[in-house]
């Protein structure tokens, strides 16, 4: 790996923003509205999701100060709990942390472009093309790909701000406030699991922390800056989406941003919004393609993944190619709803395990060495809401939860095999 970290605070913060503002914010509210039936309840779920994400960033910032290395949950759990727990977290990152979200964002990009242009898009064509382009950006040299991504993210934020101002000016909320559905506490919990996926990416910097300049200071700061900005953006965007059209037209729709745009300005507005959403979704694909392979490269360097996936120069080219291939397979074999359910549950459990490891580490090493802002409230809020929502999700959709549990279990024989090889 490159000996001199070159990712500054600004680039690290934009990486967080790019990772977060992706498919979730443009798709989740339609599903949540179908279950909850009420605009205010959906917005409340987005607000709660923002609080949970901010609590998570405060906890992860503490871990980043203590362990300013790349690898994400793999690194954290290996050092706070046990190497086996770290390996399983890395294994979960491979499938649920990056492969499934990459496929989800790429498919959402395809859906939005097809819907905005009113054309029939062959399944997988746009999604696979976006994965190939992201590989070209990040598979060879870090500097050029990162610079292009930063420029795209800045443009995305400017366009979203402009559209939000225009939409707020034209917004005339429809009289109906609900669809008639009353999902109750269980539906709110499941919606919160979905919304947590939309907020996922708040931890993006930890995957590349070893390449961040002054990582002990800047890794955590980038998490807080990026997550705070995105939380505010999400609340504004979803208020516009939910109040631009009648609830019955939005409920269950995967392209709520386009439905809202058509209600506000017709097909012309929908095409403009489709282009902006397309840019947002591609930057999400790009950010995930940048961050994910760093986990596998770190595991390869530790002898727990094939050595071919380790860094060669300043980019783990083989790991990036491997990530692109896995995401392409997921694109061809999955749909948006399946990916949303599987990824939401599995990532929630993984992040909760990481923060539980932080609690154990603080008890061992003390508050002076492991300082956590808002202690003990921040880890308590995160763990309570995340695990509580996950428990409801198991009851509501045991099949998706079962696939998540199977993903974790499938990593155990791999850990034993790689562990024996490393010992030899």
Q: How far apart are CA 26 and CA 133, in angstroms?
A: 22
Average pLDDT for residues 303-325, to the nearest whole number?
87
- Asked if the model's pLDDT at residue 287 lies above 70, the reply is yes
Residue 422 lies in a domain: no
Round the average pLDDT of the chain to a whole number and report it: 82
Quick check: 32 and 191 in contact, CB under 8 A? yes
pLDDT band at 341 (very low <50, low <70, confident <90, very high): low
Domain count of the fold of the chain: 1
Q: Give which of 356, 300, 228 is closest to 70, Cα–Cα.
A: 300
pLDDT tens string 30-78: 888 888 888 888 899 999 999 999 999 999 999 999 998 888 899 999 9
> Which tokens in the block code for residue 108?
């959402």
Token readout for 141 is 């040299």
How far does CA 280 lie from the centroid of its chain? 13
Of the candidates 76, 49, 75, 100, the one whose C-alpha atom is nearest the C-alpha of residue 232 is 49
Q: State what percent of residues in the chain have pLDDT above 90.
A: 20
Q: Which residue has the tokens 């080219």?
A: 317
What whole-number distance in Å separates Cα of residue 236 and Cα of residue 123?
Answer: 32
Other Cβ atoms within 10 Å of 282 Cβ, number: 24
What per-residue confidence (pLDDT) applies to 33? 86
Of 55-69, 135-149, 237-251, 294-308, least confident by mean pLDDT is 135-149
Sign of torsion, CA 95 101 105 111?
positive
213-227, 238-252, 336-350: which has the minimum mean pLDDT? Answer: 336-350
- The larger pLDDT score, comparing residue 24 to residue 290, is at 290
| Residues listed for the chain | 424
Average pLDDT over residues 111-116: 74
Looking at the domain assignment, is residue 1 inside a domain?
no
Query: 284 CB contacts (<8 Å, ≥6 apart)?
Result: 18, 19, 20, 21, 22, 23, 101, 105, 201
Over 50: is that where the pLDDT of 201 sits?
yes
pLDDT of residue 207 exceeding 60, the answer is: yes
Paired tokens of 117 = 């242009």
- Rounded to whole angstroms, the Cα distance separating 285 from 135 reads 10
- Selected residue with higher pLDDT from 150 and 381: 381
Burial class (CB in 10 A: 0-12, 13-18, 19+), 337: middle
Any domain includes 423 = no
Confidence label for 375 from pLDDT (cuts 50, 70 and 90): very high
Rounded CA-CA distance 310/321 in Å is 12
Mean pLDDT, residues 300-312 = 85
Structure-token pair, residue 275: 């282009």
Distance CA 211, CA 290 (A): 12
DSSP string, 69-109: -S-THHHHHHHHT-HHHHHHHHHHIIIIIIIHHHHHHHHHH
Q: pLDDT: is 21 or 131 the higher one?
A: 131
Q: Detail the DSSP E strand segments found in 149-241.
A: none
How would residue 394 be classed by pLDDT, with cut points 50, 70 and 90? confident
Helices (runs of H) and strands (runs of E) counted in the chain? 16, 0
Q: Rounded CA gap, 309 and 318, in Å? A: 5
Domain that holds residue 189: 9-415
Q: How far is CA 264 from CA 174, 242, 253, 258, 361, in A?
A: 11, 12, 17, 10, 51
pLDDT of residue 362: 94
In a domain, 2, yes or no: no
- pLDDT at position 4 is 46
**Residue 230, CB half-sphere, CA atoms under 13 Å: how many?**
37
**Percent of the chain at pLDDT exceeding 70:** 89
Which pLDDT belongs to residue 411? 82
In a 13 Å sphere around the CA of 213, the CA atoms on its Cβ side amount to: 8
CATH number of the domain where residue 172 is located: 1.20.1740.10
Of 76-80, 213-217, 220-224, 361-365, the range with the lowest mean pLDDT is: 213-217
CB 38 within 8 A of CB 177: yes
pLDDT tier, 119 (very low <50, low <70, confident <90, very high otherwise):
confident
Report d(CA 349, CA 378) in Å as an integer.
17
Q: Is the link from the previous residue into 376 a cis peptide, with omega within 30 of 0?
A: yes
- Tens of pLDDT, residue by residue over 165-199, are 777 776 665 545 555 555 677 778 778 877 887 88
Bridge partner list, 38: 178
Query: What is the pLDDT at residue 93?
Result: 82
């Amino acid at each position: 790996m490159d000996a001199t970290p070159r990712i500054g605070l600004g680039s690290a913060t934009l990486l967080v923003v790019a990772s977060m503002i992706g498919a979730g914010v443009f798709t989740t509210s339609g599903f949540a509205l179908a279950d909850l039936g009420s605009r205010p309840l959906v917005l409340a779920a987005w607000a709660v999701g923002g609080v949970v994400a901010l609590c998570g960033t405060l906890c992860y910032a503490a871990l980043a100060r203590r362990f300013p290395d790349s690898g994400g949950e793999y690194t954290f759990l290996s050092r706070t709990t046990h190497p086996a727990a770290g390996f399983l977290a890395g294994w979960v990152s491979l499938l649920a942390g990056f492969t499934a979200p990459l496929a989800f964002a790429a498919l959402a990009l395809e859906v939005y472009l097809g819907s905005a242009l009113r054309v029939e898009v062959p399944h997988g064509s746009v999604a696979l093309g976006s994965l190939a382009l992201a590989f070209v950006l990040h598979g060879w040299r870090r500097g050029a790909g990162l610079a292009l991504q930063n420029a795209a993210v800045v443009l995305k934020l400017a366009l979203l701000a402009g559209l939000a101002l225009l939409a707020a000016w034209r917004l005339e909320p429809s009289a109906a406030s609900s669809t008639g559905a009353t999902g109750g506490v269980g539906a709110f919990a499941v919606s919160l699991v979905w919304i947590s996926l939309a907020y996922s990416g708040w931890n993006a910097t930890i995957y590349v922390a070893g390449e961040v300049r002054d990582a002990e200071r800047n890794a955590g700061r980038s998490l807080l800056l990026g997550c705070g900005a995105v939380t505010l953006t999400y609340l504004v965007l979803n208020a516009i989406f939910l109040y631009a059209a009648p609830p019955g037209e939005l409920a269950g729709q995967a392209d709520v941003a386009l439905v809202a745009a058509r209600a506000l300005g017709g097909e012309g507005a929908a095409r403009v919004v489709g282009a902006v959403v397309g840019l947002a979704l591609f930057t999400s694909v790009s950010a995930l393609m940048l961050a994910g392979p760093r986990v596998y490269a770190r595991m390869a360097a530790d002898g727990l993944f094939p050595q071919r996936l380790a860094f060669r120069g300043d980019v783990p080219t083989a790991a990036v190619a491997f990530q692109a291939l896995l995401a392409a397979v997921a694109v061809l074999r999955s749909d948006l709803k399946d990916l949303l359910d599987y990824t939401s549950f599995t990532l929630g459990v993984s992040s909760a395990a990481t923060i539980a490891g932080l609690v154990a580490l603080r008890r061992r090493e003390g508050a002076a060495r492991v300082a956590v802002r808002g202690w003990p409230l921040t880890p308590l809020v995160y763990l309570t809401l995340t695990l509580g929502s996950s428990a409801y999700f198991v009851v509501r959709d045991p099949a998706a939860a079962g696939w998540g549990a199977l993903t974790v279990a499938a990593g155990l024989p791999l850990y034993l095999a790689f562990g024996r090889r490393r010992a030899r």
